[in-house]
Structures are given as structure tokens and as C-alpha cells.
Amino acid sequence: PTHLFRSERPGYQAFVDSIRDKPAIKRTLEADAALTQTLARHQSALADWWQLASNDFAELENAGNGGRKTPEIRRELIASLKEKLTPLAVLDEFKSAGLFVNWWQQIRYDIKTIVASGWHHSLIPDAYLIAAFFQKDADAIDALEAKIAEAQAELDEAVEAAVEVAAWEPETDEKATAAVLKKALKALIDDLDNATGASADKERTALKAQDKAIKAIETRIKDAKAKHKTQRAELAEKLELKRSGGEAFKAEQHTQIAQIAQRMSKLDANKLADLKQAAALAGDKEVLQARIARTDALLAAIGGQITDEQARRLILQKIDDLARAELTRYLNAEKRTLVASVDNLWDKYAVSSRLLEAARGETLKVLDGMLAGLGYVK
């Protein structure tokens, strides 16, 4: 390729001037349009294969109910994948088959679950559910985490500033932390309580300002972390409801309500102790009813429990992503082999040629010096 080699003379080529070391070989190859297009063709071929293969794969759901069996579907899928990839002349028949086998091995438990239980939500990683239904929630959590990180950086800067203002010197193994510096600042401020004069006022003001700055940032971090914890708990609750619905949770609450009703029916309205217990039980019942109402509202807000079709789509998406990742792994191995082969040419020829040229240059310098000494050249 012209971006790597140039013609020296008939039958001989040399590395182009831009290839000055082995890292340049890898950079040049990875930036090559032909290589990029080859990788893209493979991904496109896999996408075309999966568009049809996903329908065959989906038939696994009926494998236990008289439908086509897993071995038959597997044979068809591996044959069709080899037909797609082998003509591209990078992965031969055996590597294409190896790619399939590795992918199939990764999803073997998914296959067993699909055959036994259908498109069960347990096969869907949280990341896929979040991307499909709760990306806004996840983005809010990410944004809050970024704010916490920024505030933490501000706190570190405030602590550094406090070290200078307080002229703080650490003791053995002592580190400059917010807690340590607040303690040091307080001690200095207390020492200045009875001090008078402009200098003391100025120093006291600076120390209090630094102490206030550290505490303000700590408060922001504390509030943000509390909010972050709440948001993560809410997202976890939404994920659980999306997966399993609210029936099991509500049934548990209804059971407790029934138990409360049974206990209340045995109380005597004429006894003060029973009246107090009845009031407490009524309060417990209201809490349980509020939980049920909240669950219904939250379930409605998230669009209800995931449907079989939605679960099927996300599981197939995950399985497709795993196939793409396996193809990428195989292509990266081929790319490394390509780079290594050119690196080998560099080791054998380019470096040796450069060393010979350098040695020749040194020899000519010595010869010129000798000739000059003998008076043959000026």
C-alpha cells in the first residue's frame, strides 16, 4: 500500500518517510480507509445476518412446545453466519465458526431460560432496561454525580487554601483533610477571641471565612449525596416494578391489612386500652394503603410492567450486542496480526537499512578525515 511503502527500484520497496518507527505503522494502518471499510463491511454483514437470524433464534421459545429444537436452529444459524462472513476474505470458515461457537457459549444460559420460561426479565441487564425506559433518571443521577465530584474538587481546593491561611503544619502521618483543617481553624479562631487590633481582626476574618467556605461546600456535598441516594433508590424501585410488576408487593400489603382488620374485630370499644390499640392499628392500615396507592401510581408512571414483546426485543438486542462484541474481538485479532506482519518487515529491513546507512556515514567521515590529514582533500 502506498501509505506504507514506496518503490525503490523494480522488485524493491521501502517504507515511506512518514513511517519513522513501529508505532507509526499501527497508527497508519488504523487510520487507513480500506481497513476501516473492511471492518464496517463485516459489521454490516453481521447486521444483515441477525436481521434474519433473530427470527430463527426467537423460535427457541417454542422449542419445548413442539417447535423446532435447539440443535436444528443452531445448525442453521452457524451455516448462515459462515455464508455471510467467509466471502469477505478476512475470517475463514473455521474462524467464522469459532466466532459463532464462542458467542453461543456466552448465551447458553439465555437459551435454556428462553426454552424453559420464555422471554424472562431476568435475562435483561439493568443497563438495557435503563436505556429503554429510564434514561432520564439515569442522566439525572449522572449529572448529580458530576456535581458531587465538582464540589469535592472545590473542597480539596478550599482545604489547600486553609492550609496556607492557617499556616498549618502536619504532624507525623497526618493528612490535610477538611475535618483536620476545620479543627485547626477553630483552634486559631478561639485563640484570637480576646485579641484586639486591626491585624487580629483581619486574621480572624480570614480564618472564619475559610472555615465558612469549607463548611458550606461540605453541606452541598452532604445534601447532594442524600439526593443521590434517594434517586438511586427510586430508580431501583422503578426497575423492580418494571421487571415484576406490583402485584406481589400489593398482595403482601393486603395480607397485612387483613390481619389488622382481624385484630381490630377482636377489640372491645368500651375499653380504653383497646381503643388506643385500635387507633394505632388504624394508623398502620393507612400506611399500608398509602404504600399500595403509591405503588399503583408509580407503576402507571413507568408504563406498567414490561410486556413479553418488550422483554423479547431487549433480550434479542443484548444477544445481538454480544455477537457484535465477539466479531469485534475476532477482527481486532486479525488487525493485530496485520500490524505484527508489517512490524516484522520493519525489524528485518527498515532498521537494518538505517543502521547500514548510519555506519556508512560514519565510515565516510573517518575516511574524509584521513584524506584531509594526508593532504588529498582540503
Residues 298 and 325 in one domain: no
Residues 133 and 240 in one domain: yes
Residue 279 lies in a domain: yes
Residues 131 and 234 in one domain: yes
Residues 237 and 251 in one domain: no
Residues 273 and 347 in one domain: no
Residues 90 and 148 in one domain: no
Phi-psi label, residue 245: left if phi above 0, alpha if psi -120 to 50, beta otherwise: left
Q: Which of 209, 228, 244 is the last residue of a domain?
A: 244
Residue 14, helix vs strand vs coil: strand
Angle at Cα 242 formed by Cα 236 and Cα 243, nearest 5°? Answer: 90
Residues 296 and 353 in one domain: no
How large a percentage of the chain has pLDDT more than 70? 94
Residue 373 lies in a domain: no
Helix pair 33-58, 70-85: axis angle to 10 deg: 160
Residues 249 and 228 in one domain: no
Residue 43 lies in a domain: yes
Q: Please name the residues in contact with 239: beta carbons below 8 A apart, sequence gap of 6 or more.
A: 126, 129, 130, 134
Q: How many domains does the chain fold into?
A: 3
Q: Which of 194, 221, 244 is the last residue of a domain?
A: 244
pLDDT digits 0-9 by tens, 300-352? 999 999 999 999 999 999 999 999 999 999 999 998 888 888 888 877 776 55
Residues 322 and 311 in one domain: yes
Q: How many whole angstroms separate alpha carbon 352 and alpha carbon 347?
A: 7
Residues 150 and 110 in one domain: no
Range of the domain at 186: 126-244
Residues 136 and 235 in one domain: yes
Q: Which of 192, 209, 244 is the last residue of a domain?
A: 244
Is there a contact between 210 and 185 (Cβ–Cβ < 8 Å)?
yes
Residue 377, pLDDT score = 54
> pTM of the full predicted structure?
0.80
Residues 173 and 95 in one domain: no
Q: How many whole angstroms separate alpha carbon 329 and alpha carbon 335?
A: 10
From 307, 289, 291, 293, select the one nearest 245 (Cα to Cα).
307
Mean pLDDT of the chain: 89
What is the average pLDDT across 45-50? 96
Where b means 16+ CB within 10 Å and e means fewer, 14-43 reads ebeeebeebeebbebbeeeeebeebbeebe
From 131, 316, 149, 128, select the one nearest 220 (Cα to Cα).
149
